Amino acid sequence: MSTTKPFTPTDGEDNSNGTRRDFLKQTSLLTAIALTPGTVVKAAENQWDEKFAGVFEKQALHLEVNGVKHELMVEPRVTLLEVLREYLDLTGTKKGCDRGQCGACTVHVNGVRINSCLSLALTNDGKKITTIEGLAKEEELHPMQEAFIKHDGFQCGYCTSGQIMSAVALLKEGHTGSETEIREFMSGNICRCGAYPNIVKAIQEVKGGMV
């Protein structure tokens, strides 16, 4: 009797490989590092392929972050957000969703705002990154930072870095023509504490050069 198997959410898992790097066993990579076939079997049993791969898969990454040059070795799957937070200890850039849906991780790449959680670090090789830590000139805050304090454009502070990075980019983008335009172009940055009206006031003030 033939029946159609109903879809279940776990079906997809049947097709997955035992390990991510099974493909390595079918490539010439291990040959290239001069192992005999017997050793290949042993290597596979001991998961050496995984360990080799762990080393080989890392690639060189050159980043200039807030004017400081960094030479790193990272796996291709590492996001720019993780590099900033976990490798460079620049935790001012926040993780809020890892899906590009909240804006907490907003940074500038070559002057353009992006969600760093959606950007693989290696795709930024050679680029200039500015994070919230790079906005102030030593003790002197950026006018947007001053305005956020003055207008209380935050409460818990967790979305604040992303809000400020977006706000600074907004001025450059020329999207501060009206209150409505500011709201629209700041809508990629969620603030769950609900500081939106104060954020808009801060941006308007900086736009007007009043700070």
Partner 1 sequence: MKKDAIGDSLSRVDGRLKVTGGAKYSGEYKVPNLTYGVLVSATIASGTVTALDTRAAERAPGVLAVITPFNAPKVPGYQAGAERPVRGLKLFNDNKIYFNSQPIALVVADTFERATYAACLVKATYNTEPFETDFHKNIDKGVTPQKGNYKDYVRGEANAYKNAPVVVEEEYLLPTEVHNPMELHVTTAFWDGDDKVTLYTKSQGVKGSQRSIAAAFGLNPDNVQINSRFVGGAFGSSLRTWPHEIAAAQAAKLVKRPVKLTLTREQMFTQVGYRPLTIQKIGLGATADGKLIGITHESHSQTAVYEEFTEGAVNVSQFLYNSPNVNTLYKVVPLNVGVPAPMRGPGEATGSFALESALDELSYKLNLDPIELRLRNYTDTDPERNKPWSSKYLKECYQKGAEAIGWADRKAQPGANKEGEWLVGYGIGCGAFGAYRGNAVAKIKLTADGSVNIQSATSDIGPGTGTSMVLIAADTLGIPADKITFELGNSAFPNAPTQGGSATVSSVGSAVHDVCVALKQKLYIMAGKPADSMEPIDYVAVLKQNNMPSVELTQESKGNPEAQKYSMYSFSAHFAKVHVHPLTGQVKIKKIVACVDAGKIVNHKTASSQMIGGAVGGVGMAMTEEAVFDNRYGRYINGNFADYHVPVNADIQQIEAIFIDKPDPVLNPVGTKGIGEISLIGVAPALANAIYNATGKRVRELPITPDKLI
197: contact with partner 1 by CB under 8 A: yes
Q: State the DSSP string of 98-147.
A: SSSSS-TTEEEETTEEEEGGGSBGGGGTT-EEE-GGGTSBTTB--HHHHH
Should residue 40 be labelled a site residue for partner 1 when binding is judged by CB under 8 A? no
Q: Give the residue with the Cβ less far from partner 1, 2 or 6.
A: 6
195 near partner 1, judged by CB under 8 A: yes
* Cα angle: 133, vertex 138, 139; to 5 degrees: 110
Which contacts qualify for 206-209: CB closer than 8 Å, 24 or more apart? 206/143, 206/144, 206/147, 206/167, 206/171, 207/171, 207/176
Which is closer to partner 1, CB of 2 or CB of 180? 180
Residue type, position 55, single letter: V
Number of residues that bind partner 1 (CB under 8 A): 71
> Is residue 65 part of the contact set for partner 1 (CB under 8 A)?
no
In angstroms, what is the minimal distance from the CB of 185 to partner 1? 9
- Closer of 17 and 28 to partner 1 (Cβ): 17
Considering only residues 83 through 142, tell me which ones interact with partner 1, judged by CB under 8 A.
85-86, 89-99, 101-102, 104, 131-133, 135-136, 141
